[in-house]
Structure 1
Amino acid sequence: MPGYRAHVFGGTLIAGGALGLLAWAGLYAASLEYALVLVCIAALAALFPDVDTDSKGQHLFYGVLFVIDLGLIVTERYFWAALLGLFAMLPAIGRHRGWTHTWWAMLLVPLPLLLLPAYVFGAQWQAFAPYYLAAVTGYGSHLLLDGFFKG
């Protein structure tokens, strides 16, 4: 199986290639800074499927979730802290290469990037579609690499 470096590289390569192809075709053009943000999101999302095992991705995501949860508690947003804690436990329910390695999880897990800004800030969800698509691309690159190197 590919390690975390291969997944980060794969997510970066596929997302960067997709952005380049879209720009070349005249379908989507992002500034360099925005493109870098999207590629970084894809690279991080490429690590997510392995949160169900002791991995670099698990350490990264749980570290970030801890900081966010602590911030929610300090600002007395207990309901959101509880929800985050509940959803953070979901990868532990199941085996490695279980539900986190499915195509439906690839579409559902990044959904908060699309829906939460609209719900919390009243923003238009379409403005966040590139972030969602970058995460789906990165997540999908992980599944493709694991499938290709499954053995």
Structure 2
Amino acid sequence: MPGYKVHVSGSIVAGVVILLILVNIGMYVVDPQQVATLFILCILGALFPDIDTDSKGKRIFYTAMLCLSLTLIYFKQFQWAAYLGVLAMLPGISAHRGWTHTWWAMLVVPMPMLILPYYIYGQPFPTLMPYYMAFVTGYFSHLLLDRQF
């Protein structure tokens, strides 16, 4: 099975392909700061399925989650830090190649990025969709490379 470097590379390739398609059909205008955020989410999506085992990908993923949690706490966004903490713990309750390696998890795991901002702050779904899709794209690339389809 591919290691974390292959999954990160695969997510970057998948992200570039999707971004180029969206730009070429006029559905996305490049904003460098947003593109950086989208690629980070894409990479995290690619690492997520393997965080249920001891791996370099797991350490990278949880380091990013720790940094994000500390940033949220610094900005007094305690509710968001709590949501992130609960969601980050979920893979720890399953076996490797369990639910984290399913097509439905690819769609459900990033769902809080759509639902929580919508219900808590009234953010419209179209503004949240790029972030959701970036995570799903990375997740999809992982499952594809692991031949889960």
Q: TM-score, normalised by structure 1?
A: 0.81
Unaligned 5+ segments in structure 1 are: none
Unaligned 5+ segments in structure 2 are: none
Deviation at 1:84, TM superposition (A): 4.5
Which is worse superposed, 101-110 or 38-47? 38-47
For 1:79 and 1:11, how far apart are their aligned partners in 2? 26
What do you get for the CA RMSD once the two structures are aligned? 2.9
Count how many residue pairs are aligned between Structure 1 and Structure 2. 147
Deviations 1:14-51 (A, max 9, x none): 1111111222233x122141333322321221111111
1:12 maps to 12
* Partner AA of 1:109 in structure 2: V
% of aligned pairs identical?
Answer: 46
Deviations 1:91-114 (A, max 9, x none): 122211111010010001111221
Contact 1:46 1:142 in 2 (8 A): yes
For 1:14 and 1:120, how far apart are their aligned partners in 2? 31
Contact 2:47 2:139 in 1 (8 A): yes
Compared CA separation, residues 78 and 144, structure 1 to 2 (3 A): closer
Alignment of 1:1-151 (within 5 A): 1-26=1-26, 28-33=27-32, 34-67=34-67, 68=69, 77=78, 81=82, 84-147=84-147
Q: Considering only CA atoms, is the larger Rg found in Structure 1 or Structure 2?
A: 1
Q: TM-score, normalised by structure 2?
A: 0.81
Deviation at 1:127, TM superposition (A): 0.6
